[in-house]
Structure 1
Amino acid sequence: MLLKNNLRIEYHILQSFPVSCLNRDDVGAPKTAIIGGVNRARVSSQAWKRQVRMAMQELGIRLGMRTKKIFEILHPILISEGANEEQAQLCADKIANLLGNDTLIFISESEARAFIDYAKKLNFNSDDFKDKELAKVAKKALTPSIDALDIALFGRMVAKATDMNVEAAASFSHAISTHKVSNEVEFFTALDDLSTTQGSAHMGSLEFNSATYYRYISLDLGQLAQSFGDIEDTAEQIKLAIEAFTKALFIALPSARQATQSAASPWEFAKVLVRTGQRIQVPFETAIKSNNEGFLSPSIQSLKDYISLKEKLSGSLFGKLGDYEWGEDETFSIDDLIKILQSHVE
């Protein structure tokens, strides 16, 4: 199956959260950014990306491992496959060094198995290892559709073994509030159950805010097909990836302070486009003003108006193949959205 490299699904999501601190900075305060000259609430792309990845795992998708502990993964398997202690140490260390001992790296179960088979083929003699060959062994073994969808979605860069590099099919913007936000401070006290005197045993303060966030995520279907490689059921695998990715986007929430603030608000509105051409993110450069009914309603209208204007201005370069809105029609569920997105893959 052939898909154009610039055929993508673009998710424009609005999501409102009351008292929350979705993503903390180095002093524990909610992250912010200055946009259009005013302060906005912000959630970094990494904070939401990891939760999307974990959500896919909860949905039953087999993922790769993102870790620095390559040595610890390979060493016991090498021993079990017949290497002695010295051989296992040298082989595992050589492979770990290739991938970068001090760097978080994505590696799939298939690739780990391929490394072991390569070492076994060379009688566990690490002196015979060649970096280029190791990288090619891993790239050949990579099977995103089976056990490493996250590597295909989020990409991988290995500085010492560029043959293992994988271009990310998904891109995430930082989520921003559509309106001006000022962080607030919660003062709290805690009591000691065993205290015999009045008064609190502990006092503290935490910053929080509330906001309607705009999230932009792009999924490049052509790149996803390229990363999957030459497999018989590419179309079906891409459809499964669309389902898993969309559901994960829907349910994933940043993990900060969930025990104390339970920021569990779902999507409020989403405009999802299937198109070719240049990616288009809505900047919300002019902060939304409340219409005495909150920020959501004017944010939805502003989102629609911006994309409509850019479509007219872009002409044939806009390349729209599908335009779907979720959240206002109660008969159009997330399952319906997924099915219609999957219909663009043949």
Structure 2
Amino acid sequence: MTNTYTNTRIEYHILQSFPVTCLNRDDVGAPKTAIVGGVTRARVSSQCWKRQVRLALHEIGMVGGTRTKLIAGLIADACMRLDATQDQAVACGNKIEQIFIKKKEAKPKKGKADIEENDQPSSEGEKTDTLLFLSPNEVQIIAHAFREAGFDPDAVIKQKDAKKQAAELAQLIGQINEHIDALDIALFGRMVAQAASMNVEAAASFAHAISTHKVSNEVEFFTALDDLQEEPGSAHMGSLEFNSATYYRYISLDLGQLAQTMGEEDLKKAIAAFTQALFVAVPSARQTTQSGASPWEFARVMVRKGQRLQVPFETPVKAREGGYLQPSIDALRSYLDKKEKLAGSLFGKQEAYDWGENEDFSIDHLVAALQTHIR
């Protein structure tokens, strides 16, 4: 079947300003940074913002997958809903989970102490190695297969070798499930090392969000008082790092890949949900003490074919008229307009939409405009 949307993408170029925040922390609790154009920029990792987009999709009401190492419980619960006994459900769940168990190799025994230690039974000898991402439909397919076999695990997964069992599971799902029903799996992809046929290519690509300008992290010193303490002075002192920045976010949505994974029937709904999730999603770090609640300030959203195009902001913008936002908007527009002229026919633009300056063009209007590109 011909994919109508092959090599067609929606590209989101978003500018978003945050005041005092720590949107994404590193291993010592400081806001993440990066060196771009020879200067330090504030940074929010792609995986951080993707997580929030995924959660926002669930809140919007889209069908989402479950990503977990607790595979046995997920399958067991589905079997229980199909009238399996608890013992049957647990056995079926364990059968699926053991496919993805990584067995640890025993350490060489060196001395008496080691021998005594290694001879003790260990509950840590086996562990689930895979954070498996399954859609609701896939979970149901597995549970129904067990029910048809009288909840006999060995009648469904017949192979003994783990790799062959994984292939057997993938074949079971693939025979019935032509398209993935979970939007988040279609957007963010899935990799299953034990069963490559279960892999799903991600339709969405996220760049790390960076500040358009130079940023230096600052330190907040704080104290806490004891309500019952009679002596003067604080009961606790501490410090937290923070910054403030205008961030540039780049996200690309491959419509061809999304159609291949989900089917073309749900593309309009998927585009609407994804755009809305991008709009509302904000990283959750320190939201109770440094509430980062800033929506988009400006966005240029393009529907185009050909090579993806990200604005590098290699030259940091300078504050003008008291802020970074307007010079960032000007720099973004100038860069994209220039690249469009230089690329000529290879730019492949079908349409571009500027959001944020015309009050009569809301996020709902943007969604509706993007949906017109789906036939």
TM-score (ref. length: structure 1): 0.93
The answer to whether 1:26 aligns with 2:35 is no
**In 2: Cα distance, 1:91 partner to 1:314 partner:** 56
**In 2: Cα distance, 1:149 partner to 1:30 partner:** 30
What pairs with 1:144-183 in structure 2 (closer than 5 Å)? 146=181, 148-183=182-217
Structure 1 or 2, whichever has the larger Rg, is: 2
Match of 1:106 among 126, 133, 136: 133
The alpha carbon displacement at 1:2 in A equals 3.4
**In 1: Cα distance, 2:341 partner to 2:100 partner:** 47
1:89-114 CA-partner distances (Å, limit 9, x unpaired): 44322312335622322111111111
For 1:329, give the aligned amino acid. Answer: N
2:158 corresponds to: 128
The alpha carbon displacement at 1:304 in A equals 0.6
**In 1: Cα distance, 2:148 partner to 2:220 partner:** 62
For 2:276, give the aligned amino acid. Answer: K
The alpha carbon displacement at 1:142 in A equals 4.4
CA contact (8 A) 2:212 2:316 kept: yes
User: Aligned with 2:240: secondary structure?
Assistant: strand
The alpha carbon displacement at 1:291 in A equals 1.5
**In 2: Cα distance, 1:198 partner to 1:45 partner:** 46
**In 2: Cα distance, 1:271 partner to 1:144 partner:** 31
**In 1: Cα distance, 2:191 partner to 2:294 partner:** 34
1:258 corresponds to: 287
The answer to whether 1:212 aligns with 2:246 is yes
Q: Which runs of 5+ in 2 are unaligned?
A: 102-127, 160-164
CA contact (8 A) 2:5 2:259 kept: no
For 2:307, give the aligned amino acid. Answer: Q
CA contact (8 A) 1:33 1:39 kept: yes
**In 2: Cα distance, 1:93 partner to 1:116 partner:** 12
**In 2: Cα distance, 1:142 partner to 1:261 partner:** 44
Q: 1:286 to 1:141 in 2, by over 3 A?
A: farther
Q: 1:277 to 1:311 in 2, by over 3 A?
A: same
1:15 corresponds to: 16
Aligned residues: 340
For 1:210, give the aligned amino acid. Answer: S
What pairs with 1:49-60 in structure 2 (closer than 5 Å)? 49-60=50-61
Q: 1:128 to 1:156 in 2, by over 3 A?
A: same
The answer to whether 1:35 aligns with 2:62 is no
**In 2: Cα distance, 1:333 partner to 1:250 partner:** 11
RMSD: 1.9
2:64 corresponds to: 63
The alpha carbon displacement at 1:42 in A equals 0.1
CA contact (8 A) 1:188 1:205 kept: yes
1:325-345 CA-partner distances (Å, limit 9, x unpaired): 001111111111111100000
CA contact (8 A) 2:135 2:180 kept: no
For 1:30, give the aligned amino acid. Answer: P
**In 1: Cα distance, 2:238 partner to 2:4 partner:** 55
User: Aligned with 1:260: secondary structure?
Assistant: coil
CA contact (8 A) 1:13 1:216 kept: yes
What pairs with 1:75-86 in structure 2 (closer than 5 Å)? 75-78=76-79, 81=82
What pairs with 1:215-226 in structure 2 (closer than 5 Å)? 215-226=249-260
**Segment of structure 1 superposing worse, 85-94 or 164-173:** 85-94
**In 2: Cα distance, 1:11 partner to 1:318 partner:** 15
For 2:193, give the aligned amino acid. Answer: A
CA contact (8 A) 1:11 1:270 kept: yes
CA contact (8 A) 1:79 1:85 kept: yes
Q: 1:10 to 1:140 in 2, by over 3 A?
A: farther
2:347 corresponds to: 318
Q: Which runs of 5+ in 1 are unaligned?
A: none
**In 2: Cα distance, 1:145 partner to 1:95 partner:** 20
